[in-house]
Amino acid sequence: MILICGAGAFGTALAVTLAQNGPVTLWARDAAHAAEMQAARENTRRLPGIDLPDAVTILSGPLPKGDTPCLLAMPMQTLRGFLSEHAETFARRTLVACCKGMDLTTGLGPTGLIAQSCPTATPAILTGPSFARDIALGLPTALTLACADEATGQMLQRVLTSPTLRLYRSTDTIGAELGGALKNVIAIACGAAIGAGLGESARAALMTRGFAEMNRLAATLGAQPQTLAGLSGFGDLALTCTSDQSRNYRYGLSIGQGATFDPTITVEGAATARAVLARAQALGLDMPITHAVTALVTGELRVAQAMDMLLSRPLKEE
């Protein structure tokens, strides 16, 4: 049995696809939300139009104990508090983070937070180019499953692969989580450029130079270069920077258009940009796109000013 903590769109989508392999428990923090899903056999709030298979059990309240793997499908900025709240239940358990970002308070990624809050647990991360509805509809999707413990990674790869969800295994948790976090920042930049009418060439330049920034920070923090070139880095960057299904891209579009964005929608890249910039500055790293995105999300700069800032930088070799 698999336990999924978090009944948002992605947690629900994972429950739907993994139910093809066996029983899945989908835990929701909100008891009323859990009751709605149980009655309708559908997550009408987050993933409407997708039936929940009979193999999916919906729970709220106390987390079930046991030694089965637990997938943490929740916003990055809520993960640290959730882990601290349930540290005793998660002791010596395998915890798979399914969120992308960097914690604002600690500057840590998901596996770092797991190691800090639940030191006896085995951390892993599931990340890569994917949209919840694609996974739930059974459209073919490939993700990275990273776990420093190779035996645990092999077990998770077997358990979490479904007929339409293919997982590639890695031991580089640092690279995998950085790819997922940093691409959201670049997606905001790309959305802002398109929203402001700066064109496809500007987007291509931001993706390319953004990828260079991603690699710069990842290498400094000990990631393997090939990880960022894979699904969790380049693959996720390509998807998130070019699709209207991406919340981070749509958020950037709204900034570029001067429009209001729905505040109830989680935009991981907004907080991550601030956390990444602080980490980069502490390390003495130059990350101009991340700097520009941080200024955009905090309202310090408008898109035209941010673009002028980037274009006026000293000329150099690629």
Catalytic residue numbers?
A: 183
In degrees and rounded to multiples of 5, residue 4 shows phi and psi of -115, 120
Rounded distance between C-alpha atoms, residue 214 and residue 180, angstroms: 10
Rounded distance between C-alpha atoms, residue 318 and residue 81, angstroms: 41
Alpha helices in 59-199 (DSSP H): 76-85, 87-90, 110-117, 132-136, 150-160, 173-195
Residues belonging to the chain: 318
For 27, the token pair is 């835990």
Nearest to 15 by CA among 31, 34, 93, 155: 34
Instruction: Please tell me what DSSP assigns to residue 101.
Output: S
